[in-house]
Amino acid sequence: MEHYTALSPYLKRRFGYKVYKLSLSAGCTCPNRDGTLGARGCIFCSGSGEFAASGSASIPEQLEQAKYILGKKAQGAKFIAYFQDFTNTYGAVSRLKPLFLAAMEPDDVVALSIATRPDCLPEDILRMLSRLRARKPVFVELGLQTVHQASARYIRRGYPLSVFDDAVQKLHALEIEVIAHQILGLPGETAEMMAETTRHLGQLPVDGVKLHLLHILRGTDLAAEYEAGRVKPLELDAYIDILEQCLAVLPPDVVIHRLTGDGAKRDLIAPLWSADKKRVLSAIQKRFEQDGVSREARCAADRLQFSARCGILDLISHRSIFA
């Protein structure tokens, strides 16, 4: 397999320190939930926004709460302020800009990361992001999930591929870094179809990719599909096979921000193997070593191990496929 760039060592080289993400909430909702596009959200989304800090707390309070969870690991480290839950550009600039500025203000915050939808980037939001980028690096995370229209309809994504492509180009033109999300294991998609999505991302000016395992959580419409026998989650070995195929078609300079994802144990229905983070880590490491994946990939697996120990999820995330 070709060499690829893992997130943790990349951030350390770029910023000169160990860098962790601090998950924050801007208190936003989503056009796929508030009735603008739909009321039930994407089929896999629990809608709980459970992984980010409480939106009722101020941004400085949320930052401190997230650092407290990190514990001793936070000492001497730097941070990315990560607005993670729901659609964090879905609102007025007058409300969002002060939140983002407050998150960027501390000296130990080296960058801002904003999870959103590509159909929620109007011109005034893009201008705001461009001004923020003049202060510190800005990452925008977009949930493509798949290039296949049938799959996009099934998961109720709510926008065509052209909207995603246009958003990536506009952000790139403003020198705003783009991280794209892809789900592996969507019903009806073959390994080659999943690799087609990854290949498409590699042909765009995308700076980073998050690869997620499709998992079923209680309270989602996907859970009903699973219970009806219409969804079969991937087994671990099959997931790693597909993961390697997808990584192989990406340019080596695209940063891999995540290798998989699981759900909170209290909500996870399937696949249950994804809750055993140590087993997942061991399997990924073993396969990487067998197939000659680079040292940086093993660093990614090491970061996964830390995530499993402390509950601060990066390569494996309870909230991974919702951003």
Q: What CATH number is given for 5-322 in this structure?
A: 3.80.30.30
pLDDT tens figures, 114-135:
999 999 999 999 999 999 999 9
Which of 29-62 are b and which e, b meaning 16 or more Cβ less than 10 Å from the residue's Cβ? bbbbbeeebeeebbbbbbbebebbbeeeeebeeb
Do 18 and 266 form a contact (C-beta atoms < 8 A)?
no
Q: Region of 218 please: left (phi>0), alpha (psi -120 to 50) or beta.
A: beta
In our burial notation (b when 16+ CB lie closer than 10 A, e otherwise), range 281-305 reads: bebbbebbeeeebbebbbbbbbbbb
Is the pTM for the entire model greater than 0.85?
A: yes
> By mean pLDDT, which of 65-79, 143-157, 289-303 is the weakest?
289-303
Per the listing, tokens 């800009």 go with 97
SS3 state at 21: strand
Residue with tokens 């499993």: 308
Reported as a single tens digit per residue, the pLDDT across 291-303 is 875 544 444 554 4
DSSP class of residue 274?
G
The residue extents of the domains of the chain are 5-322
Could you read off the pLDDT of 151-167 as tens digits, one per residue? 999 999 999 999 999 99
CB 22 within 8 A of CB 80: yes
- The sign of the torsion formed by the CA atoms of 14, 127, 113, 178 equals negative
